[in-house]
Chains A and B, each alone.
Chain A
Amino acid sequence: MAQVEASGPMLDAAGVPLKASLARAERRNRLKALGLVFPLLAFILITFVYPIALMVFRGVDNPTVSTILPKTAEILRAWDGNGLPGDEAFVSLAGEFAFASKERTLGKVATRLNYELAGSRSLVTKSGRKLKKLEAPTKEDLVEIDKRWSQPETWSVLKRLAEPYTFAYYLAAIDKTYDVDGTVVDQPESRQIYVALFMRTLWVSLLITGLCVLLAYPIAYLMAILPTKTSNLLMIMVLLPFWTSLLVRTSSWIVLLQTEGVLNDILVWTGIIGEDGRIQMIYNMTGTVVAMVHILLPFMVLPLFSVMKTISPTYMRAAKSLGATPARAFWTVYFPQTVPGIGAGSILVFILAIGYYITPALVGGRTGQLISNFIAYHMQQSLNWGLAAALGGILLAGVLALYWIYNRLVGIDNMKLG
């Protein structure tokens, strides 16, 4: 009998199966935990995930033509795209242009069309102004206003814009475009820019990360092995610039490096270079790299230091007592233990560098601009938010891909921030 009872479900004091009551207790704990993290979760969703999703969506969103010229958009969507559309498309376009011109919404269509077909802003606004004055505009009226309305290219671009979603921005962000037939082709060479910029951004970020490792390693090492009093002083010297405003640090580099600046003055004064031989060290890639390495250096020093601090000096002593040369002991015993610090610092510096904006804008000049400067340009100057979103989306995808590769190569667990 006892054996039969033992094989049945175990009961708690209240007679409920123990498994169920355990599960209930765990569920309650889980809910409590969820309740505790909920504010943070909501915060992240609202301020981080949602805007990013919106941005990626904006890169394909194409509402202008389909909302401002709804009837024409419908007709054009049904059209097969060969040659010119039927007369009803002309008539509907003329009517909706006149209406939109009165409502002052036609400018948006003009702007949108001009992104795809340079010179069409005036075509649209001019047509709108003239159509407004006509009673019942016909196809002939439209063609008479501008002969571009009888060219298939104008209509094929309009047809593409009539779709509520488009890949045109993403294509533009990788230097491609649609031709008249709607096939994807390269932009003319004189307008290709973004692929080269993405590669440059990637390359510069890697360079900056590498330079930061080289510079930060000895500093962190010194801080880790020196007596506390001295290493505290060093720590303050690392942290002081870290606490100083980014703009102040960037501007100081301008003062130091410009052609009439301190460094050039010293070089001229000591006779190393002549008055005519002043070196251009800022407003180019050199300026961007120098200033960014300086600004990002603490992000490398601090993780390295915190890892090195935990490495017991007895390991090195043991290696040396077993006959290793100091170099060998460092390389085979000390260095491998600092790899998690290098990994953490590198990923911090790299990800900060790849999206860096203000420093290249101030000291980058012509050749030191990075992709984020162009995203800002399209947000603030050209107002082409679709293209800005597409560029941002690609940058985000690129960082995620690199993170994935990094995880495969180094392992994200093999990283220590402190």
Chain B
Amino acid sequence: MKTIIKYTGAAVVALSAAVYAAGPAAAADALTIVSWGGAYTKSQVEAYHKPFTAKTGTPINSEDYNGGLAQVRAQVEAGNVTWNLVDVELSDAIRGCDEGILEPIDHSILPAAPDGTPATEDFIENTLTECAVGEIVWSTVFAFDASKYPDAKPTAIGDLFDTAKFPGKRGLRKSPKVNLEWALMADGVPLEQVYEVLGTPEGVDRAFAKLDTIKDDVIWWEAGAQPPQMLADGEVSIASAYNGRLFNAIFTEKKPFEIIWDGQVWDLDLWVIPKGAKNMEATLDFVKFSTDTQRLADQSKWISYGPVRKSSFPLVAEDMQPHMPTAPDNFKTALQNDYEFWADHTDELNERFAAWLAK
């Protein structure tokens, strides 16, 4: 009975996921690689997928999703895993590994750096985990539409919350993540104490109280492609967004947006393999191929996310360097997303955030 229940529940989600993501039928032996869509997926297609297909002849289907482990879990529990490789955030990589829905990946298979440094030393610390191989460092920043603020421009995180000085709607991600951290930073909590304060009930109250001050001016977004669009439509004047998406809007689409790096919250994107995924050999080949020194550096031609291999840094084109989250000027007031904090408090804070939103 219990297995049946498990399968039925999983099947319902899998079905909805399948309906949602139903693409063209997979070609024989093609790899299905799932990522976040838009400019980010495009950068992976150009830097990884196309050269991989050219080299091995293995076709790749690219699918989009909005993050989270729901679809992976549904596929694993239903025993019908159709995804080969998924691009996830660090907290999901750790959580999925703990729950046993991801395959462990042996780090020794990863290619060494061109100078012979083994992969385990070449990858930045904490970017290789038991079930995941890191690709890029990305960050959540906020940007404003320069045409809306001809005189004084926002410069710091506090300006995001200052609707008197900088009027206009704000676009923020519909999630407690990053917003609560920013609220505390804007309220004067030093960078290194943000998660410590947020771990206390008073800290959470304080963060929500700060968010209260702009609640009526916020339009919430969910998919990463939304905020640049909202800025372009004039729906909002200031929006939080992933730095790569903004880069794309500013430099490829020539939009008059400006990025503020103050208080950027950075995180990793990693490859994970759902447990029981088919075609493991080709998938691991792809993981090896896409995370070698050259490929990681190549990706930064298409989007301004930083590679996680030290040996890739020098290969990043010079004109891209200042737009990387890890560029020294941008990194001064950067905060790393604390995956352990969020693993512990996601359920509680999501609930509270939802209650707060609905009031």
A residues with CB within 8 A of B: 51, 54, 57-58, 61, 63, 67, 103-108, 110-111, 114-115, 118-122, 125, 190-193, 196-197, 200, 258-260, 283, 365-367, 369, 374, 377, 379-385
A to B CB contacts below 8 Å, 22 in the list: A51-B8, A54-B5, A54-B9, A61-B5, A104-B98, A107-B97, A111-B99, A118-B345, A119-B345, A121-B95, A121-B344, A122-B344, A125-B98, A190-B355, A190-B356, A196-B359, A260-B234, A366-B357, A374-B354, A379-B70, A380-B13, A384-B347
Contact A383 B69 (CB under 8 A): yes
Does B340 sit at the interface, judged by CB under 8 A? yes
Does B12 sit at the interface, judged by CB under 8 A? yes
Does B322 sit at the interface, judged by CB under 8 A? no
Contact A107 B8 (CB under 8 A): no
Chain A residue, CB-CB nearest to B169: A259
Contact B358 A366 (CB under 8 A): yes
- The smallest C-beta distance from B218 to any residue of chain A, in angstroms, reads 8
Binary contact track B333-359/A, C-beta < 8 Å → 1, others 0: 000000010011111101110111111
- Please indicate the chain A residues that have their CB under 8 angstroms from the CB of B219 in the complex: 283, 365
Contact A110 B98 (CB under 8 A): yes
A-contacting residues, B27-68, CB 8 Å:
68
- The smallest C-beta distance from B38 to any residue of chain A, in angstroms, reads 18
Q: Which of B69, B95, B348 contacts A118 (CB 8 A)?
A: B348
Contact B5 A379 (CB under 8 A): no
Please measure, in the bound complex, the distance between the C-alpha atom of A283 and the C-alpha atom of B100, giving whole angstroms. 38
Contact A193 B354 (CB under 8 A): yes
- The smallest C-beta distance from B177 to any residue of chain A, in angstroms, reads 12
- Please indicate the chain A residues that have their CB under 8 angstroms from the CB of B348 in the complex: 118-119, 191
- The smallest C-beta distance from A262 to any residue of chain B, in angstroms, reads 13
- Please indicate the chain B residues that have their CB under 8 angstroms from the CB of A382 in the complex: 346-347, 350
Q: Which of A58, A107, A381 contacts B99 (CB 8 A)?
A: A107
Does B262 sit at the interface, judged by CB under 8 A? no
- Please indicate the chain A residues that have their CB under 8 angstroms from the CB of B358 in the complex: 193, 196-197, 200, 366-367, 369
**A-B residue pairs, 7 tightest by C-beta:** A104-B100, A107-B99, A107-B98, A118-B348, A193-B355, A119-B344, A380-B70
- Please indicate the chain A residues that have their CB under 8 angstroms from the CB of B4 in the complex: 54
Contact A106 B344 (CB under 8 A): no
Contact B344 A118 (CB under 8 A): yes
Please measure, in the bound complex, the distance between the C-alpha atom of A125 and the C-alpha atom of B98, giving whole angstroms. 7
- The smallest C-beta distance from A105 to any residue of chain B, in angstroms, reads 6
- Please indicate the chain B residues that have their CB under 8 angstroms from the CB of A196 in the complex: 358-359
Please measure, in the bound complex, the distance between the C-alpha atom of A412 and the C-alpha atom of B66, giving whole angstroms. 44
- The smallest C-beta distance from A44 to any residue of chain B, in angstroms, reads 16
